[in-house]
């Protein structure tokens, strides 16, 4: 893998990991368009660690609060535990089929279109919810619902952040609470997936140390500002535009499949 390819993938990872457009879907699409070979697994792990760091720093105050006062925030700890179960089960059941699923542009395009329609319809329903819940009202049912949609996002073209934020908003939480719950649940999911992938060994990823460092920093910095952008989009009620975007790239992926 070349320096340009590494930087390109780092930018894609940082930009799409947190926006509701599917980072995995974009990586598959661009690999096909530009004939980029699948990046080494360990490099993918490093990029995910960059975006994980972005979450930890962006939500540092809330995370420190959780760690300092676990009893006071017991409901949130239970939420993380319960919400992580669906993706753990789905990941285990699909681990042998992931490569074939992610290698199909047709599957990717269909999934993107379905998720785009889901995003648009959900944004309409969310706009009609007048009362907003706070984090103190969270319960096990919320954990299962948001966790289930996180598990669905294992499919290419389905955004993890989009699915979980939508789930939080449909459950009646405020914009800021829904985003926090989404990325609180992302911490064990990203960390767990990275550990599993890294078990395959680090190996030689064919990149210099400076290139690796720059790639991780790009993934972190762009990911951090993507979180800021996501909050802004939600405040301005423009979430549905990401749904339209998913419809567009979904049709592009299908066209590429048949060309």
Q: From CA 150, how far away is CA 159, in angstroms rounded?
A: 8
pLDDT band at 191 (very low <50, low <70, confident <90, very high): confident
From 90, 79, 193, 191, select the one nearest 146 (Cα to Cα).
Answer: 79
Task: Provide the domain limits for residue 55.
Answer: 3-257
Distances (CA, A) of 40 to 2, 5, 28, 102: 12, 12, 14, 15
Average pLDDT over residues 179-193: 90
Task: Give me 182's structure tokens.
Answer: 């989404």
Q: What is the pLDDT of residues 53-64, one digit of tens each?
A: 999 999 999 999
Total domain count, the chain = 1
pLDDT at 68 over 60: yes
Whole-model pTM: value is 0.90
Which range, of 68-82, 188-202, 224-238, 241-255, averages the lowest pLDDT? 188-202
| DSSP assignment letter at 133 | B
**Residue 173, helix vs strand vs coil:** strand
Q: From CA 7, how far away is CA 15, in angstroms rounded?
A: 12
Q: From CA 188, how far away is CA 174, in angstroms rounded?
A: 23
Question: Phi and psi at residue 57, in whole multiples of 5°?
Answer: -80, -40
Average pLDDT over residues 180-202: 80
Q: Residues 157, 109: contact at Cβ < 8 Å?
A: yes
pLDDT of residue 38: 58
* Length in residues, the chain: 259
pLDDT of residue 42: 72
Q: What is the pLDDT of residues 121-159, one digit of tens each?
A: 999 999 888 888 889 899 999 999 999 999 998 888 899
């Amino acid at each position: 893998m070349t320096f340009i390819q590494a930087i390109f993938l780092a930018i894609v990872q940082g930009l799409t990991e947190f926006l509701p457009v599917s980072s995995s879907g974009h990586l598959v699409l661009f690999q096909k368009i530009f004939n980029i070979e699948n990046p080494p697994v360990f490099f993918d792990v490093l990029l995910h660690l960059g975006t994980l760091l972005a979450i930890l720093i962006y939500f540092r105050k809330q995370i420190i609060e959780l760690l300092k006062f676990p009893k006071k925030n017991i409901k949130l700890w239970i939420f993380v535990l319960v919400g992580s179960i669906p993706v753990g089960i789905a990941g285990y059941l699909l681990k042998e089929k992931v490569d074939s699923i992610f290698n199909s542009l047709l599957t990717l395009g269909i999934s993107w279109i379905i998720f785009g329609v889901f995003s648009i319809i959900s944004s309409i329903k969310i706009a009609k919810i007048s009362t907003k819940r706070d984090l103190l009202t969270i319960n096990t049912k919320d954990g299962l619902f948001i966790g289930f949609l996180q598990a669905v996002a294992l499919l290419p073209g389905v955004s993890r952040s989009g699915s979980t934020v939508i789930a939080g908003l449909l459950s009646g939480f405020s914009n800021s609470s829904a985003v926090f719950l989404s990325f609180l649940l992302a911490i064990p999911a990203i960390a767990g997936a990275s550990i599993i992938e890294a078990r395959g060994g680090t190996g030689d990823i064919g990149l210099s140390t400076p290139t690796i460092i720059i790639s991780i920093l790009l993934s972190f910095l762009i990911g951090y500002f993507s979180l800021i952008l996501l909050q802004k989009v939600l405040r301005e009620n423009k979430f549905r535009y990401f749904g339209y975007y998913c419809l567009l790239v979904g049709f592009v992926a299908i066209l590429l499949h048949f060309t």
